[in-house]
Amino acid sequence: MHKFSYFELPGDKNQLIRGSLHISGSGIQAPWFIFCHGFTGQRMGPGYLFVKISRALADEGFCSVRFDFRGSGESDGKFPEMNVSTMKNDLMAVISWLKKNHNPSRIFLLGHSFGGMIAALCSKEANGVTLLSPVGNPQKLISSQKKIIESGPNSEGYYEHGPHEMDSSFASFLLEINPVETLCKNLKGALLLIQGDSDKSITVEESSVYVTEARKCGIDCEYHVFNGADHNFSRVSDVKLLCRTVNRWAKEHTS
């Protein structure tokens, strides 16, 4: 059994970041995972994926933090105000809060999709990083945003993307970053990357660049391509394999 609780911490602009904690044992001097959800996502993950991984990790003595980036889920802020910069700031705030309040023995970042890219950009703060179907080429996203902008703004000046509103400046932040290069430069620990070969959002070719470049830099990399898995690892078999793989990798890098 593990303890579950909610937390709030102050982010930029006096906006609150809200999240959930899975605490195995005392939580003090334990290894912790910090989960980073994707664009338009929230801290439970697609199909409760993050909840399932957190519970599996807790069974093996790992604690975890799942939080909503400001503008998403239950955290303060508006979705159009969210961008790469605000997401990085939020993750750094959570890392600082965790160090101050729980004194973790190790910190692992786990990011899915766009959240994987954010984890890569903040990898300097981690003892290890797990990337699930991560965005590896953010510039590719600019073309899709151009299509959204071509539809024209709504009455509030925002551009509609499904149920969400976006600001036209979002793409400018994508031009300024190179997550693969940043991870290779900053990560001092190990990398685990898991990808599905039936992913229609992020291809194997795009995400595998992380592994190719990280290995060139001497980073300890473990790479898995799940047969038939989609972007969100939607099948029960994918989730179970994912939990087993992350757990085993985490134990190997905390022993």
**Do residues 168 and 60 share a domain?**
no
**Do residues 20 and 80 share a domain?**
yes
Residue 55 belongs to a domain: yes
**Do residues 117 and 172 share a domain?**
no
**Do residues 125 and 108 share a domain?**
yes
104, 29 Cβ separation under 8 angstroms: yes
At 11, is the pLDDT very low, low, confident or very high (cuts 50, 70, 90)? Answer: very high
| Domain edge (last residue) among 118, 153, 176 | 176
135, 114 Cβ separation under 8 angstroms: yes
CATH number, residue 57: 3.40.50.1820
22, 2 Cβ separation under 8 angstroms: yes
Which tokens belong to 248?
């085993």
* Strand order, beta sheet including 3-10: 3-10, 16-23, 63-67, 31-36, 106-112, 128-132, 190-196, 221-226
At 167, is the pLDDT very low, low, confident or very high (cuts 50, 70, 90)? Answer: confident
**Do residues 157 and 210 share a domain?**
no
The range of the structural domain enclosing residue 231 comes to: 3-138+179-246
Residue 123 belongs to a domain: yes
What is the pTM (predicted TM-score) of this model? Answer: 0.94
At 133, is the pLDDT very low, low, confident or very high (cuts 50, 70, 90)? Answer: very high
DSSP letters for 24-68: -TT-TT-EEEEEE--TT--TT-GGGHHHHHHHHHHHTT-EEEEEP
**Do residues 127 and 92 share a domain?**
yes
**Do residues 152 and 67 share a domain?**
no
Residue 231 belongs to a domain: yes
| Domain edge (last residue) among 176, 197, 226 | 176
Measure CA 147 to chain center: 25
| Domain edge (last residue) among 123, 153, 176 | 176
Residue 148 belongs to a domain: yes
**Do residues 41 and 156 share a domain?**
no
Residue 254 belongs to a domain: no
102, 27 Cβ separation under 8 angstroms: yes
**Do residues 172 and 184 share a domain?**
no
How far the first Cα of the chain sits from its last, in Å, is 22
Q: What is the pLDDT of residues 219-247, one digit of tens each?
A: 999 999 999 999 999 999 999 999 999 99
Residue 16 belongs to a domain: yes
Residue 252 belongs to a domain: no
Residue 124 belongs to a domain: yes
Tell me whether strands 16-23 and 31-36 are parallel, antiparallel or unpaired: unpaired
**Do residues 224 and 197 share a domain?**
yes
**Do residues 54 and 118 share a domain?**
yes
Give residue 165's pLDDT: 77
Positive or negative, the CA dihedral 232, 236, 238, 240 is positive
Q: How far apart are CA 40 and CA 42, in angstroms?
A: 7
174, 118 Cβ separation under 8 angstroms: no
Cα–Cα distances in angstroms (integers) from residue 75 to residues 6, 14, 78, 126, in the given order? 12, 11, 9, 23
If one counts the domains in the chain, the total is: 2
Share of the chain above pLDDT 70, in %: 98
**Do residues 149 and 219 share a domain?**
no
